[in-house]
């Protein structure tokens, strides 16, 4: 029997945190839908903020407790200038895709997630900030902890395949189209995180994609209206 190395510990912790986190997040928010109308401001904010706590705060606390951050979270650190060029290229590609995709019926049936009929600037800012906080925690766990520990334990392509496989499964409830494109984008983001050594690029890409899609969907939705004041 092989010795239980720090790589074993890191991978085990990452799998447990990710699996239990997504299970708890899913069932917790299913229960909240019984309390609040689906798509209401309260329901969406609770969903996103619960993600911040489950995917961000709890894993960060666990890293402090086990004191094995180096084996689990080598991609968690400051963003460096080497992410700027790939981020700029992907932003230039993703924004037109979001603009085109936002008009589709399947997309408009889900986005914007907050289904208030009348939006104003305050609601736009609240939604954007809650998206940013949620996606930071999401990528902190997915590409900051899970990918890093998998790479240490499994190697390059097995780690990417595992990460992208789970990432796409998480998107299945949003439809086959989004699940498929999550595979493509997931591979790209994993490679960029490994290349740059930081989960920040995945976070920024995810923010660009989420916010551009929300804003274009808000503009295209026939039953939702935006006024600046």
Distance of CA 43 to the CA centre of its chain: 18
The alpha-carbon radius of gyration of the chain (Å, integer) is 18
For 194, counting Cβ atoms within 10 Å of its Cβ (0-12 exposed, 13-18 middle, 19+ buried), the class is middle
CA distance 145 to 154: 14
Going by C-beta distance under 8 Å and a sequence separation of 6 or more, which residues neighbour residue 126?
Answer: 41, 45
CA distance 210 to 128: 9
- pLDDT at position 1 is 43
> Average pLDDT for consecutive 10-residue bins of the chain (229 residues)?
63 82 84 81 93 90 67 68 90 94 91 94 96 95 88 89 88 81 92 91 95 95 89
- pLDDT at position 76 is 76
Query: 3-class DSSP state for residue 72?
Result: helix
Q: What is the DSSP string of 151-183?
A: HHHH-HHHHHHHHHHHHHHHHGGG-HHHHHHHH
CA distance 211 to 203: 12
Closest to 129 measured CA to CA, from 54, 52, 191, 190: 52
CA distance 158 to 76: 20
CA distance 185 to 191: 10
Instruction: Give tens-digit pLDDT for 125-141.
Output: 999 999 999 999 999 99
Contacts 24+ apart (CB under 8 A), 117-123: 117/223, 117/224, 117/225, 118/224, 118/225, 118/227, 119/218, 119/224, 119/225, 119/226, 119/227, 120/226, 120/227, 120/228, 120/229, 121/228, 121/229, 123/41
Which bin fits 225, alpha (ψ -120 to 50), beta or left (φ > 0)? beta
- pLDDT at position 22 is 84
């Amino acid at each position: 029997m092989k010795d239980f190395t720090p790589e074993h510990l890191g991978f085990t912790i990452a799998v447990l945190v990710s699996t239990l986190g997504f299970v708890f997040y899913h069932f917790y928010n299913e229960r909240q839908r019984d309390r609040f109308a689906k798509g209401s401001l309260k329901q969406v904010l609770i969903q996103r903020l619960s993600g911040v706590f489950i995917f961000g705060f709890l894993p960060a606390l666990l890293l402090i407790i086990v004191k094995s951050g180096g084996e689990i979270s080598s991609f968690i650190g400051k963003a460096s200038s080497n992410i700027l060029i790939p981020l700029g290229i992907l932003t230039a590609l993703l924004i037109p895709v979001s603009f085109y995709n936002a008009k589709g019926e399947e997309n408009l049936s889900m986005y914007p997630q907050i289904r208030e009929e009348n939006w104003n600037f305050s609601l736009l800012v609240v939604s954007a900030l809650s998206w940013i906080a949620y996606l930071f925690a999401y990528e902190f766990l997915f590409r900051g902890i899970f990918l890093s520990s998998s790479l240490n334990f499994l190697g390059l392509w097995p780690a990417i395949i595992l990460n992208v496989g789970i990432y796409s499964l998480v998107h299945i409830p949003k439809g086959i189209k989004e699940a498929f494109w999550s595979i493509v984008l997931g591979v790209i983001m994993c490679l960029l995180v490994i290349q740059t050594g930081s989960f920040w690029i995945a976070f920024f890409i995810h923010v660009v994609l989420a916010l551009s899609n929300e804003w274009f969907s808000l503009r295209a939705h026939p039953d939702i209206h935006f006024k600046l004041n």
